[in-house]
């Protein structure tokens, strides 16, 4: 089936006052793959106050981090060939694609056969030595401050994904960090235990749907205080997460028997063993 273009109704102005407006009124219902649809949009999510906060803090952070960003760019250029910045198309507000900016952490100019999965896991051989450090410290995300200032992104919101992996109706700007980012902060180390030919399927069929449920819950309930708590936990890894019910919200969909379960932070994700064996068989035939 061919790709279906979204016919999105124009979203109300940024100073919307329609907390809990049904989200189905804001988007088309036809799509080529299952999607997670928030039930409504909170007042804060698309308010002018959130945008002003992002713009003011983003400009200050960009000025403060500029020397470090110049140094990081120089290190990347000196230690590997290719550009310092990595650009990739991601899904943004109202399913409109935009170009996200990151520091390049992988070898540049590999052939299509060498590029492998669109998902990066711990110990990925495509990663440069400087890139591995940047990813571990999350410094590769610094150029996204430019995306925030431009209005493509917010500081807090659903993480933007490539179009092939997106399964959330984006009724808010994507964020540098978010509810799912906090819960799945150890995603790369988790994926290290997944067989290489199963990683992308595992991400798209198991992890991404759980992330989308967390992000949908954020879109429905976000307030200024929510953003501050998420930012604090992202930056300083402080606080007890027991007062946030995103983890329980995501875990509630995986309580059936007969599945292999693995805890991720406080979320339990599941894999159907029959599906896993079937997929591995198909991949083996394809490779042969």
Tell me if 14 is assigned to some domain: no
Residue 28 lies in a domain: no
Give the position of tokens 């449920």. 213
Query: β-strands 260-264, 175-177: how paired?
Result: unpaired
Classify residue 91: in a domain, yes or no: yes
CA 91 to CA 106: how far, in whole Å? Answer: 22
Tokens of 254: 């995986």
How many Å separate Cα 144 from the centre of its chain? 13
Would you write out the chain's pLDDT as a tens digit for each of its 288 residues? 444 333 333 333 333 334 444 555 444 444 456 688 899 999 999 999 999 999 999 999 999 999 999 999 999 999 999 999 999 999 999 999 999 999 999 887 653 444 555 666 555 678 889 998 998 888 999 999 999 999 999 999 999 999 988 889 999 999 999 999 888 877 777 777 777 777 777 888 788 888 999 999 999 999 999 999 999 998 876 444 434 444 444 444 333 322 233 333 333 334 444 544 554 454 444 444
Strands (E) located in 30-149: 40-41, 85-91, 97-103
The residue ranges of DSSP E strands in 124-196, in sequence order, are 154-156, 175-177
Identify the DSSP state of 243: G
Q: Please indicate, yes or no, if residue 24 is contained in any of the structural domains.
A: no
Statement: the pTM of the whole predicted model exceeds 0.75: no
Tokens 């110990």, residue located:
123
17 in any annotated domain: no
* Domains in the chain, number: 1
6 within some domain = no
- Domain of 262? 38-287
- Residue 223, domain member (yes or no): yes
């Amino acid at each position: 089936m061919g790709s279906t273009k979204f016919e999105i109704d124009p979203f109300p102005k940024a100073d919307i006052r329609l907390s809990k407006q049904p989200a189905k009124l804001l988007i088309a219902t036809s799509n080529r793959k299952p999607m997670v649809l928030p039930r409504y949009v909170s007042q804060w999510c698309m308010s002018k106050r959130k945008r002003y906060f992002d713009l003011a803090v983003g400009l200050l952070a960009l000025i403060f981090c500029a020397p470090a960003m110049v140094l990081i760019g120089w290190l990347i250029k000196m230690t590997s060939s290719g550009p310092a910045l990595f650009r990739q198309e991601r899904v943004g507000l109202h399913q409109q694609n935009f170009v996200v900016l990151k520091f390049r952490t992988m070898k540049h100019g590999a052939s299509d056969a060498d590029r492998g999965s669109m998902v990066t896991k711990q110990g990925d051989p495509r990663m440069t030595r400087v890139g591995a450090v940047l990813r571990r410290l999350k410094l590769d995300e610094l150029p996204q401050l430019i995306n925030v200032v431009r209005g493509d992104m917010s500081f807090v919101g659903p993480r933007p994904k490539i179009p092939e992996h997106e399964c959330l109706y984006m009724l808010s700007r994507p964020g540098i960090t978010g509810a799912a980012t906090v819960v799945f902060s150890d995603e790369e180390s988790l994926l290290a235990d997944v067989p290489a030919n199963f990683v992308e399927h595992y991400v798209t069929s198991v992890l991404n749907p759980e992330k989308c449920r967390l992000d949908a819950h954020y879109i429905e309930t976000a307030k200024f205080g929510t953003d501050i708590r998420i930012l604090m936990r992202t930056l300083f890894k402080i606080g007890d997460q027991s007062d946030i019910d995103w983890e329980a919200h995501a875990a509630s969909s995986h309580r059936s028997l007969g599945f292999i379960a693995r805890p991720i932070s406080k979320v339990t994700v599941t894999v159907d063993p029959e599906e896993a064996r079937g997929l591995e068989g198909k991949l083996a035939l394809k490779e042969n």
